[in-house]
Chains A and B, each alone.
Chain A
Amino acid sequence: MMQRIKKMSDTNLLLTITIVVFILMYLCAVIFLGEGFRKPQAFLNQFNNNAYLIIIACGLSLVMITGGIDISVGGVIGLVSMTCAVNLDLKGGNIVTSMLIALGIGLAFGLVQGFLVAYLDIQPFIVTLAGMFFARGLTTIVHTNPINVKNSDFVKLRTTDVVIPGLGAENKRGVYIDATIEIGVVIALIIVLALFFMLRWSKTGRNFYAVGGNQQSALMLGINVRRTKFLSYVMCGLLAGIAGYVYFMHVGSGSPSHAQGAEMNAIASSIIGGTMLTGGVGNIIGTLFGVLSLSTIKDIVTSSGYDDPWWTGITVAAMLCIFLVIQSVIMAKKHAQGASDKKEKQAAPASS
C-alpha cells in the first residue's frame, strides 16, 4: 500500500483521498439518512445548487496551483448578477447583452488583478482583497435594492432544464417525474472537463504547475512566469464572470447580498479537493469533488435536524480540519519515506 502511495504524484494522491472520502460520506448519508439522499434527483440537486461554486472553485484552483489566491470572485458574482438584473429589467437589455456584460466584468477584473499581481509583483491577497471591496461597493452603486428579473426571455432561459433519461422517480402520488439538471450545471461540467484537459495535457497547463512548484526554477527553465501568472488570474476572473451569470440564472435576481462568502466556500472546496495553498499541487476533478463534499456535508447536517446556520459552519470547519490533517499526515509520511530512501541511496555508494 505504502509502496503504491509513494509512487503516486502528490496531486494524484490528494485527489484519491478526496474522492474516497466523498464516496464514503455519500454512502453513509444514503444508508443512515434515507429518503432525501436516495433519489437520483437529490444527487443532481447538489450540482444544481452549486454550479456557480464549481465554476469559481475551478478558477481558484487555477490561481492556487500557480501559488496565488483570488478572493474577489464572490464580489464579482454579486456585481455580475446585479448588473445583469439592472440591464434586463430596468434598461431593457436582452439575454445576449447581459451575457456579454457578465463576461466583460469578469474579464476586466481578471485583467486588472492579473496585471497588478504578475507584472507589478503586488501580493495577490492584497490585490484581490481590494478587488472584493471594489466589486461589493460597485454592486451597491449599480443598484441598492434587490431586483427580481421578470424579462420573459430570461425567465424562459433560466427555467429550461436538461432531462437526464432513466433517472427519474415516482412521487408519492405515483406520478413519474424526470430527473433534471439546470443549464448552469452543463456549463460547469464543460468547464471542469476543459480545464482538466488543459491542466493535464497542454503546455500552458503544465506551466501553471511549474510556476506554483518553484517560481524561480520555472523562470530558469525558460517559462514565462509573469505571463503564466497573468493568465491564471485572467482565467479566474473570466470564470468568475461566467459563474456570476450561472448564479444569476439559478436565483433569477440581483442583490447586493448575493454570493456573500462564496470565495471562502470556493477556497475551502478547492483545498478539500486536494489543491495546496502553497502551490504546484492540485486537480480540477478534485475541486469538483471538493464542492460536492462541502455541499453534501451541509445537507447532511441540515437533514439530521441541525438546521441552524452555525451547525453547518462548525461542521464545515471540522471537515476542513480533518481533511487538512489527513492530507498533511499522509504527505508527511510519504515524504519521510522518500527521505529515508534518499539516505539509503546516498549511503549505497559508500558500501560498494
Chain B
Amino acid sequence: MQGETILKMRGICKFFPGVRALDGVDFSLCKGEIHALMGENGAGKSTLIKVLTGVYPKDGGEITLDDKVVSIRSPQDAQNAGISTVYQEITLCPNLSVAENMYIGREKDKLVKWKKRNNEADKLLQSLDIPARANQQLSSCSIAVQQMVAIARAVDMDCKVLILDEPTSSLDENEVAKLFRLMRDLKAKGVGIIFVTHFLDQVYEVCDKITVLRDGKLVGEYVIEDLPRVQLVSKMLGKDLDDMSDIKSEATEYSGEGAGQDVFQCTELCSNAGIKPFDFHIQKGEINGFTGLLGSGRSECVRAIFGADHVTGGTVRKYGKPVKITKPIDAMKNGIAYLPEDRKIDGIVADLSVRENIILALQVMKGFFKPFTKAQANKFADEYIKLLGIKTASADTPIKSLSGGNQQKCILARWLLTKPEYLILDEPTRGIDVGTKIDIQKLVLKLASEGMSVTFISSETDEMLRTCSRLIVMRDRKVVGELSGDELTQNMIMNTIAGGEQQQ
C-alpha cells in the first residue's frame, strides 16, 4: 500500500526574533502512510506545519511535492497544491453556515449555487456521521462538531497530503474513532497523512511512522514497530524518564497545623452555567479532583466556587465561617486561585510581557493605583521563572511568543504569587508536553505537602490517579460519587461514571 515519496522537506529553517524555531529539519511523507509528527511543546511541530502550509514564509530549505520543487506562499497556494490542513484551533468562520465553511475559498465558480452546495454538504455530513445541518450557522454547533466540519472540509478536497494538527483534543472517544476510520480510508486511497498529537495511544493506534523533533531539530524518523513508547518519550525529552508512575508515593503528606481540617466547604452550590446543586469540601493540604466525561460539569463546579459564573444559590464556608463569593475578586481575597481551562481566552493577556502576566493577579488584589516598583516586579518574575523553569528569552518577552506549556507555567506562576490557600487547576496539562506535565504534577504534590489545598481537573484519568487523593465523579452536571483510598483505580472511576446507567 505504501508507495513512493510524495512530499519531501529538506533542510527547512525558520527563525523568529531570538529563536531558531526550525533548524535544518528534514521530513518526508509517502503515499498512503500515516506519519506522526511528535515532539514537546516548542519543538517546532506547529511551525513546520505552518511553513508547509504557507502561513509562515520559510527562511531556508526546499519543499518538493511529487518530485517538483514548489514554493508555497499562502494557505491558498497550499490548497491548490493539494495540501489540506486541519489546524489545532478551529479555523472556520463562526458567522457563516456549516456548508459555506466547507466550501468557501476552494470553489471554482464565481457564483454560489446555494441549493446544490447545501445538498452536497448534507450528503457529506451524513456520510461522515456528523450531527450538523448544512444551513445551520457554524457558531450554533459545539466545538467538537466544528472540528468535525473542519475535518470534513479537509477530506473533501482532492488532496494528496492531509495535515491533522492536534485535531483530537476537542473530540470525544466516539468521534476520535470515527476520525481514525476516516484516516484509514484515506490512507487506502493513497493520501499521505501527517498527524500531530500529544496522545501516545492515538499514535500507536493509527500511525505507520514517527518523526520526532526536539528544540527545532530533527531527532529522527522511525517505523512505529521499532520504537516502543518509553523510547519515544525519551527521544522527545532528550533524556531518560524517571519512573513517572510513582511520583505520588514520594510526596509526603502535609501534617502541620490544621491538617485534616476543612478549608472550604460548599453546600448546595449552583450557578447559572447549568450544574445541579452540589456539596463540596476540601481539607488543608489535600489534593482532590473532579472527574467525568467532557461536558459533565467539572469546570462549571470549580467556576462556581471561584465565582467565575453567576452563582445562583448555596453557601460557602471558610474554616466554618460563611463567606460571600460572588465574583472572582472575592474568591481571590479569600485565598482561592483558579487556573482556567481555556488558556487563550481566560488566561493569558497575549500582548503583555511575561513579567506583567505573572504579577497581574497580585496587582489586582493590591489595587491598580498602587503599582509595584519595577524592581519588585522583576524580583517576582525572576523568582517564578526560575522556580517553574519557564523557558523565555527574558521577562520582557510578550507572552504570546512563548510555547503553550510555558504560557501555562506563567499563568500558574501568576496564581502561586498570590500565595493562595486553595488552588484550583482546571486542565493545567492540556496540550502540554510530557516533561512539563510531570513538572506540574510534581509541583502540585509539593505544594500540597506544604499545606496548600488543591483541586485538580484533567481529562486524563491516570494523571488524576497519580496526583489526587480523593476524586469527585460527575455525570450530566451532577455529582454522582466520591472515591478515595483503595477505590482510586481506573476501573472504579469508569464504573462510577457509567454506574448510574444500570439503575436507570
Q: Which residues of A contact B (CB under 8 A)?
A: 6-7, 9-11, 200-204, 206-207, 209-210, 212-214, 216-224, 280-281, 335, 338, 340-343, 345-347, 349-351
Contact status A222-B295, CB under 8 Å: no
With A221-B101, A351-B501 as known contacts, state yes or no: A210 contacts B294, CB within 8 Å: no
With A9-B137, A343-B295, A347-B295 as known contacts, state yes or no: A209 contacts B105, CB within 8 Å: no
Contact status A345-B91, CB under 8 Å: no
With A10-B137, A223-B105 as known contacts, state yes or no: A281 contacts B95, CB within 8 Å: yes
Point out the residues of chain A lying under 8 angstroms from B74, CB to CB: 219, 222, 224
Q: Does B235 contact A (CB under 8 A)?
A: no
Point out the residues of chain B lying under 8 angstroms from A204, CB to CB: 110
Contact status B97-A9, CB under 8 Å: yes
Q: Does B234 contact A (CB under 8 A)?
A: no
Contact status B142-A219, CB under 8 Å: no
Q: Does B59 contact A (CB under 8 A)?
A: no
Contact status A349-B293, CB under 8 Å: yes
Contact status A221-B111, CB under 8 Å: no
With A220-B75, A223-B105, A343-B295 as known contacts, state yes or no: A213 contacts B144, CB within 8 Å: no
Distance, CA A350 to CA B293, complexed state (A): 6
Point out the residues of chain B lying under 8 angstroms from A217, CB to CB: 90-93
Contact status B93-A10, CB under 8 Å: no
Distance, CA A206 to CA B110, complexed state (A): 10
With A223-B76, A224-B74, A349-B174 as known contacts, state yes or no: A203 contacts B110, CB within 8 Å: yes
Contact status A213-B95, CB under 8 Å: yes
Closest 9 CB pairs of A and B: A346-B295, A213-B93, A222-B105, A213-B95, A280-B95, A220-B91, A221-B105, A217-B91, A338-B140
Distance, CA A342 to CA B107, complexed state (A): 30
Q: Does B19 contact A (CB under 8 A)?
A: no
Contact status B95-A223, CB under 8 Å: no
Shortest C-beta distance, A9 to chain B (Å), equals: 5
Point out the residues of chain A lying under 8 angstroms from B78, CB to CB: 222
Q: Does B79 contact A (CB under 8 A)?
A: yes
Contact status A216-B104, CB under 8 Å: no
Shortest C-beta distance, A142 to chain B (Å), equals: 40
Point out the residues of chain B lying under 8 angstroms from A213, CB to CB: 93-96
Contact status B101-A203, CB under 8 Å: no
In the assembled complex, 30 residue pairs joining A and B whose CB atoms fall closer than 8 Å, in A order, are A201-B112, A201-B114, A210-B100, A210-B104, A210-B105, A213-B93, A217-B91, A218-B105, A219-B55, A220-B53, A220-B85, A221-B91, A221-B92, A221-B93, A221-B104, A222-B76, A222-B106, A223-B104, A280-B94, A342-B142, A343-B274, A345-B131, A345-B142, A346-B144, A347-B296, A349-B172, A349-B174, A351-B475, A351-B476, A351-B501
Point out the residues of chain B lying under 8 angstroms from A280, CB to CB: 93-96
Shortest C-beta distance, B92 to chain A (Å), equals: 6
List the A residue with the shortest CB-CB distance to B498: A350
Point out the residues of chain A lying under 8 angstroms from B100, CB to CB: 206, 210
Point out the residues of chain B lying under 8 angstroms from A216, CB to CB: 91
Contact status B94-A214, CB under 8 Å: yes
Shortest C-beta distance, A217 to chain B (Å), equals: 4
Shortest C-beta distance, A330 to chain B (Å), equals: 14
Give the most central of A6, A207, A213, A345: most B CB within 10 Å: A213
List the A residue with the shortest CB-CB distance to B142: A342
B interface size (C-beta, 8 A): 50
Shortest C-beta distance, B411 to chain A (Å), equals: 22
Other-chain residue from B75, B142, B476 in contact with A222 (beta carbon distance below 8 A): B75
Distance, CA A306 to CA B107, complexed state (A): 55
Distance, CA A202 to CA B104, complexed state (A): 11
Shortest C-beta distance, B497 to chain A (Å), equals: 8
Give the most central of A10, A206, A224, A335: most B CB within 10 Å: A206
Shortest C-beta distance, A337 to chain B (Å), equals: 9
Shortest C-beta distance, A221 to chain B (Å), equals: 4
List the B residue with the shortest CB-CB distance to A210: B93
Other-chain residue from B85, B87, B104 in contact with A207 (beta carbon distance below 8 A): B104
Q: Does B225 contact A (CB under 8 A)?
A: no
Point out the residues of chain B lying under 8 angstroms from A223, CB to CB: 76, 104-105
With A222-B79, A347-B295, A349-B172 as known contacts, state yes or no: A202 contacts B93, CB within 8 Å: no
Distance, CA A7 to CA B55, complexed state (A): 34
Point out the residues of chain A lying under 8 angstroms from B106, CB to CB: 221-222
Interface residues of B in 57-111 (CB under 8 A from A): 74-76, 78-79, 85, 87, 90-97, 100-101, 104-107, 109-111
Contact indicator per residue, chain B 131-154, by CB within 8 Å of chain A (1) or not (0): 100001101111011000000000
Contact status A350-B79, CB under 8 Å: no
Shortest C-beta distance, A178 to chain B (Å), equals: 39
Distance, CA A190 to CA B200, complexed state (A): 60
Distance, CA A219 to CA B54, complexed state (A): 10
Other-chain residue from B107, B141, B476 in contact with A203 (beta carbon distance below 8 A): B107
Distance, CA A253 to CA B94, complexed state (A): 46
Shortest C-beta distance, A229 to chain B (Å), equals: 15
With A221-B105, A346-B144, A346-B294 as known contacts, state yes or no: A212 contacts B91, CB within 8 Å: no
Shortest C-beta distance, A258 to chain B (Å), equals: 36
Point out the residues of chain A lying under 8 angstroms from B172, CB to CB: 349
Distance, CA A21 to CA B39, complexed state (A): 57
Point out the residues of chain B lying under 8 angstroms from A210, CB to CB: 93, 96, 100, 104-105
Distance, CA A349 to CA B173, complexed state (A): 10
Give the most central of A203, A220, A281, A349: most B CB within 10 Å: A220
